[in-house]
Structure 1
Amino acid sequence: MPVIEVVRGDITREEVDAIVNAANESLLGGGGVDGAIHRAAGPGLAQAGAALAPCHPGEAVATPAFDLDPPVRHVIHTVGPVWEGGGHGEADVLASCYRRSLQVADEIGARRVAFPAIGTGVYGYPSDQAATIAVTTIRATPTAVEHVRLVAFDDATYRLLAAAASAD
């Protein structure tokens, strides 16, 4: 089981092997963390993503990190669920995002991975529930990843992720 660390900051500045992108199905970039990663990585990221698209909710694929600073070598793109009230399998899809991202990390040999709070932006997943699913799924997924950094963009998300990570 990887060590889980919760930090507040900019995921594009993390010193890890791979960062996870909360992407849309086109993998062409968008708003929020997706847009920030695309701006930092440069136009090659959208070109590489377009070649792999579509990426369906709950799935994950990897591309090179392009202009992101080393040691980041890869971007793992995953598409979270759009919140529709919780009765449409959203929790299973969100858990799959974390599980599949760790599986892809294993495939590319990444041992240190940074995740954003997947699905909590424009897709509307309730942040408290998403934090619990993130931590629970990471802990339950067999992986060779040694260190996971959960990167919160704001204080509220940081507090929720930290609380989930400290729960037994």
Structure 2
Amino acid sequence: MATTNWLMASPTPSVFLHPSVNPRLAFASIKNQTLVKTRVSFLTNAKRRLPVVLSMTATEEGAVKSVLPGNGISIMVNGCTGKMGKAVIKAADTAGVNIVPTSFGSASEAGQTVEVCGKEITVHGPTEREEVLSSVFEKHPELIVVDYTIPTAVNG
């Protein structure tokens, strides 16, 4: 291999870095061709260690499109009236995951509207679960459901 001024991620050469045009950065990414699910180490022809800065950006349009209903991953948190349910919604919202404005809870919570992160989430009781869940799956095909309901809400 010829001596060149670039870095390659290993074990799979999926990230190639080249000298950056910005004098403050040592290297910049050329193209991320595939995802690497293992640790990434960098091979270089130089004997010295180099600081590496990696950054990823997305267009605003692409970021918005990925969290609209029907695009990307959506999360529905059952039992969202509790402390853990609210914490998961806040974390998902911060991460940019689409929050489904529907939740399931106990019969006593049915009909409530809970506001978390500026989003109003309607809580449905056990008697409505089949009908509501099928409509949620139609709108959000890539759905993750997190369940913090109490056992009596699920079992009757």
TM-score, with length taken from structure 1: 0.27
Give 1 or 2: higher helix fraction.
1
Give 1 or 2: higher strand fraction.
2
TM-score, with length taken from structure 2: 0.29
The structure number with the bigger radius of gyration is 2
Higher relative CO (Cα under 8 Å, sequence separation at least 6) belongs to 1
